Amino acid sequence: MKFVLVAINLPIKNLFKQFIYSVPSEIKGLEVGWRVVIPFGGQKVEGFVVKTFTEATLEQESDYTDVSKIKPIIAALDVKPWFNAEMLETALWLAKYYMCSLAEAMRLFIPGKTSIKKKPIYNADGKLIAYEYEERLQEKNLLAYQISDLGKKALNEDIWGRSKKQESALQEFAKLEDALTVKEAEDKGISAAVLRALADKDYLTRTEKRIFRNSYEKDVLKTEKLVLNEEQKVAIKTVCNCLDDKNAQQEYLLHGITGSGKTEVYLRITEHALKQGKQVLVLVPEIALTAQIVRRFQAWFQDEVAVVHSKLSQNERGDVMYKMRTGEAKVLIGVRSAVFAPFDNLGVVIIDEEHEGSYKQEERPNYNAKLVAEIRCKNAGAVLLAGSATPSLESYYKATNNEIGYLELPKRATGGVLPEVSVVDMRKELKDGNKSVLSRKLRREIISASAAEEQTIVLLNRRGYSTFVMCRDCGEALLCPHCAVGLVYHAKDNHMRCHYCGNVYPIPTECPSCKSTRIKFFGTGTQKAEEEINSLPLTTTLRMDQDSTSKKLAHEEILGDFINRKANVLLGTQMVAKGHDVPNVTLVGILSADSILNLPDFRAGERAFSLLTQAAGRAGRGDKAGKVVLQTYDPENETIMLAAKQDYLTFAKKELEFRKELNYPPYSTILKLTVWEKEETLGIKLGDEIVAFLEEFCKSQNIEDCEILGPFPGIVAKVRDLYRLNILVKANDMEIIKKALFTSKYKELKNIYFDVDPLSVI
């Protein structure tokens, strides 16, 4: 008899154990990597086979000697393993590195996190009596028709009489090698009635046809190969030589200024990989960036390109995974979760805008797609190419210390220059009586650009209509009752919303503290800024933020309208600052440039510099020179001055000196532990206990380079009625600290979360 060790695919934080099941004789060929349906806790759930045993080898497992108590698996899913050796190896690494269970790591590789759909069944009285289970990742097949031998014979014998429609339809089918679905037949003018009549005569055979759903199935751009400059040629040749020589450098940073033609480099390298029969993964940080890069890749590689992100349906994502597993698609473009796609023959992973924080998952397991991609490339023998105009300091440090290859694109591909940046002191604007969110200079420049039929992008890193709501008598800000954060006013729906828990509240007529009716809205959000910009002459505005892009593919529609000049101003949050290449944009306005500079986080300066530089880089990418108006209340700030000059090298040098002095990454690694508790005092008590445990461990092991900070409240101290306290651990060798925590009682406590290499320490 055969036995298997199964990781249970359930979203349970502390389920670290795997379980033994027997394999019924009728299930043949079951090996490591298969998805199976198993009984667990009174229900049917999905599991992943991670080890196999014979009865003899099972007896050697001290915990699993009683064969009579072992339950059989119910069914095997698919016709082959879902996990190949490389995927399983990556999952094992991920579970160890990010301190999660193996099942949590493996479920990341499943579209929608599970293949099993559970449907409740109720009796006549409405009482739940059972669950019905079905597989979610089934292939989608539709009824289709194909000409039969009898149909071909009928055509040759010309026996039709008056049935000209049937004869014409059969002649159409005779030209085809593939079957037609009903809809495909209707598109050719063949009705469903004619199909049924021909099938009833056995002139057509009924069959099934695999249907792929594709939200990006549109007319694509014509392939246009641009003339490369010398730096682009060097970058392409270097990476392609690496693809040809497996002993060469396997990871590269492509550091190219905004508009330097990084996408063109990606396309040529992808073309080389495809000629070798390899597959390519292209990671982008946000859905908002996929539309333009998808169209560029489709222009080159047509149907070989597949796209995946969270806005697609479960079925669409399943179709994409099927294409990648079978090798039917050669290029996959997607956001961070695409790093877990199954590949038949992975050759290259390209990470666009590699500096972006959205590659890090905020919920458990808190993986970073960049690091997962690095591990997958090592396991698969593939090449990793990460590109950015403002690389993360960790990547830049590795590149300049020869840990990875360093490729530079120091000038714009079109030969143009970086835009001219004007810094506006908003303190002076306010002093001179301008209370608008727009400086006088920015207002003049928007009007001028609109009059010249040019376009403008305006960045405001806030959503909603106003930033917060406050009583002018007692000074009390209106807070979410469930989260320690101010409510944001949304004028369109005339309500206040918490951007943490999502709860919505009516506008109060009086202050809940002092009963005053003097309620005022302070600050400026994107909705209010949109009103002000639309009031300018000749100006029409499109807004792009989370509120305006909630529906599927809304980002693409808004960008498409902007590119097609249905509006001359695109206003939005961070998503308007990244990756977009619109040649007619000659002006970029940046409102509240210093809004993220003062956060108590060691990466605040890096984030601000990157955002400002990336936003400025949207201007002047066509034939006309670009301008940037950068508004700030702190014009003397060094980060803002360097961003205005777009001087990354000076910024990186100074920031790395600061990091080294305080032993921050890349000179150390950080682990953040977060304690969630309904009662704040209990959270503090548990936090103190963990700190004492870690301090005692470091003392007993003579670890001197470990620094433990906290516990301290998160910057938003309460979310959804739970208090949040953080503990930070800084160490040069974090693995020994992680091992100590993983063998302690804290590993399985439900209210403690581990975040390895956190991007935010607050």
Mean pLDDT, rounded, for 210-234: 68
Name which of 524, 529, 531, 530 is nearest 488 in CA terms.
Answer: 524
Q: Is residue 473 part of a domain?
A: yes
Cβ atoms of 312 and 349 within 8 Å: the answer is no
Residue 55 has pLDDT above 70, yes or no: yes
Q: Is residue 223 part of a domain?
A: no
Of 39-53, 153-167, 264-278, 304-318, highest mean pLDDT? 264-278
Mean pLDDT, rounded, for 532-557: 82
Q: Please tell me the least confidently modeled range out of 60-64, 271-275, 660-664.
A: 60-64
Task: Write out the DSSP string of 711-751.
Answer: EEEEEEEEETTEEEEEEEEEES-HHHHHHHHHTSGGGG-TT
Residue 134 has pLDDT above 80, yes or no: no
Cβ atoms of 50 and 102 within 8 Å: the answer is yes
pLDDT in tens, 548-580: 666 766 777 888 899 899 999 999 887 787 767
Name which of 587, 282, 561, 581 is nearest 453 in CA terms.
Answer: 587
Cα 104 to Cα 16, 376, 591, 642: the distances in Å are 9, 17, 41, 42
pLDDT in tens, 703-713: 988 999 989 98
Which one of 105, 135, 165 terminates a domain? 135
Cβ atoms of 488 and 495 within 8 Å: the answer is no
Indicate the pairing of strand 420-425 with strand 627-632.
parallel
**One domain for residues 384 and 453:** no
pLDDT band (50, 70, 90) for residue 219: very low
Residue 73 CA to residue 660 CA, distance in Å, equals 54
Main-chain phi, psi angles of 147, to 5 degrees: -65, 140
Extract the tokens encoding 309.
């992100």
Q: Give 180's DSSP letter.
A: E
Which one of 615, 638, 659 terminates a domain? 659
Extract the tokens encoding 74.
């119910």
Mean pLDDT, rounded, for 629-635: 90
Within its chain, how far is the Cα of 178 from the centroid?
37
Q: pLDDT averaged over the chain?
A: 86
pTM: 0.82
Within its chain, how far is the Cα of 119 from the centroid?
29
pLDDT at residue 1, rounded to an integer: 80
Name which of 292, 282, 284, 407 is nearest 346 in CA terms.
Answer: 282
Residue 432 has pLDDT above 90, yes or no: yes
pLDDT band (50, 70, 90) for residue 142: low
Name which of 30, 203, 16 is nearest 99 in CA terms.
Answer: 16
Instruction: Name which residue leads in pLDDT, 487 or 289.
Output: 487
pLDDT band (50, 70, 90) for residue 335: very high
Our count of domains for the chain comes to 6
Residue 746 has pLDDT above 50, yes or no: yes
pLDDT at residue 417, rounded to an integer: 82
pLDDT band (50, 70, 90) for residue 465: very low
CATH code, 36: 3.40.1440.60
Q: Is residue 226 part of a domain?
A: no
Residue 683 CA to residue 603 CA, distance in Å, equals 26
CATH code, 542: 3.40.50.300
Q: Is residue 621 part of a domain?
A: yes
Name which of 95, 84, 71 is nearest 35 in CA terms.
Answer: 84
Helices (H), 216-333: 230-244, 262-275, 290-301, 314-326
pLDDT in tens, 87-129: 999 999 999 999 999 999 999 998 877 766 666 667 677 776 5
**One domain for residues 124 and 12:** yes
**One domain for residues 646 and 555:** yes
The neighbouring-strand residues paired with 37 are 46, 75
pLDDT at residue 139, rounded to an integer: 47
**One domain for residues 336 and 427:** no
Compute how many other C-beta atoms are within 10 angstroms of the C-beta atom of residue 133.
16
Residue whose tokens read 């695919």? 9
Which one of 522, 547, 566 terminates a domain? 522
Q: Is residue 225 part of a domain?
A: no
Residue 595 has pLDDT above 80, yes or no: no
**One domain for residues 433 and 403:** no
Residue 550 CA to residue 543 CA, distance in Å, equals 12
pLDDT at residue 418, rounded to an integer: 85
pLDDT at residue 464, rounded to an integer: 45
**One domain for residues 93 and 22:** yes
Mean pLDDT, rounded, for 661-675: 95
Mean pLDDT, rounded, for 180-192: 84
**One domain for residues 585 and 712:** no
Residue 41 CA to residue 22 CA, distance in Å, equals 17
Helix, strand, or coil (residue 62): coil
**One domain for residues 177 and 274:** no
pLDDT in tens, 392-424: 999 999 999 999 999 999 998 877 788 899 999
Q: Please tell me the least confidently modeled range out of 58-67, 500-509, 703-712, 742-751.
A: 58-67
Name which of 420, 358, 419, 355 is nearest 390 in CA terms.
Answer: 355
Amino acid at 457: I
| Alpha-carbon Rg for the chain in angstroms | 30
**One domain for residues 244 and 382:** yes
pLDDT at residue 656, rounded to an integer: 97
Q: Is residue 218 part of a domain?
A: no
Q: Give 64's DSSP letter.
A: -
Helix, strand, or coil (residue 396): helix
**One domain for residues 369 and 397:** yes
pLDDT at residue 119, rounded to an integer: 64
Q: Is residue 664 part of a domain?
A: no
Q: Is residue 241 part of a domain?
A: yes
**One domain for residues 18 and 103:** yes
pLDDT band (50, 70, 90) for residue 446: very high
Extract the tokens encoding 441.
């200079």
Q: Which domain holds residue 621?
A: 420-463+525-659
**One domain for residues 44 and 129:** yes
